[in-house]
Amino acid sequence: MGFVDAALSFPTVLLTPLLVVVIGFWIVVIVGGADPDAGSEAGDGGPLDFAGLGGVPAPITLSLLVAFAWFASLAGGEFHGPIPLWAVLLAAVAVAWVLTRILVIPLRKMLPDGPDASRADFVGLTCVIRTGRVTDTFGQAEVHAPDGSSAIVQVRQAGHDDLRAGSEALLYDFDPDGEFFWVVPTDIATRGH
């Protein structure tokens, strides 16, 4: 039996249209017409999470599941012997689930699990001034992110507060055009609270 005959015979014929859709989807992704990260179900209790396949964008998980099921049904359809073909289909789906689950576990660790970090995430944090002074055109400070990392950022102040090296300030706004943070001394920020 030839490859095309095997792909178009039961049980593989049931999965062939799904494989065509998966291949078509990835062709569209390659030419920039679709987002492969869309539909991530991490932690939302969706059907992929229920099946132990969540935490990775749904298009990746479903593509793996369909590809493995298709190849398993193709092989099973060719070498099934006395096993009924409906059992081959069920076995192919089970094998696909196991293989996909095995691959999803390391993929979860490799893929980011949230939005990309942004400098604007520092707004609301305190910082320590690292330059001799901070003006409306000059200044740098060290800020520590919640994950423990630190960064030296450009800071400016609107007033004339005494912000010198070693003093603590609050980052209260980010200017994306100038790529700097507006700061006030922490004692001013907490006054009245």
Paired with 182 in beta bridges are 156, 173
Contact yes or no for 10/77 (Cβ under 8 A): yes
| pLDDT, tens only, 101-142 | 999 989 888 876 655 557 778 899 999 999 999 999 999 999
> What pLDDT score was predicted for residue 41?
47
Does 40 score more than 90 pLDDT?
no
* Chain centroid to CA 41: 10
**Whole-number pLDDT of residue 115:** 59
Whole-number Å distance between alpha carbons of 76 and 180: 61
Q: What is the pLDDT of residue 138?
A: 94
What's the rounded Cα separation, in Å, for the pair 140 and 118?
18
Residue 68 one-letter amino acid: F
Reported as a single tens digit per residue, the pLDDT across 57-103 is: 889 999 999 999 999 999 988 887 788 888 999 999 999 999 999 99
Entry pTM: 0.57
Please determine, for residue 182, whether its predicted confidence score (pLDDT) is greater than 90.
Answer: yes
Q: Where are the beta strands (DSSP E) in the chain?
A: 126-129, 140-144, 150-156, 168-175, 180-185
Res. 188: pLDDT tops 50? yes
Structure tokens of 180?
């700097």
Residues 161, 182 contacting (CB under 8 angstroms): no
Rounded Cα–Cα distance for residues 95 and 176 (Å): 50
What dihedral do alpha carbons 79, 82, 85, 89 form, nearest 10°? -60
Q: What is the mean pLDDT of residues 166-182?
A: 93
* Among 58, 30, 31, 60, residue whose Cα is nearest residue 44: 58
Domains of the chain: 3-110 (no CATH), 119-189 (2.40.50.140)
For residue 42, is pLDDT > 50?
no
Residue 45 has pLDDT above 80, yes or no: no
Among the listed residues 69, 116, 114, the one whose alpha carbon sits nearest the alpha carbon of residue 88: 69
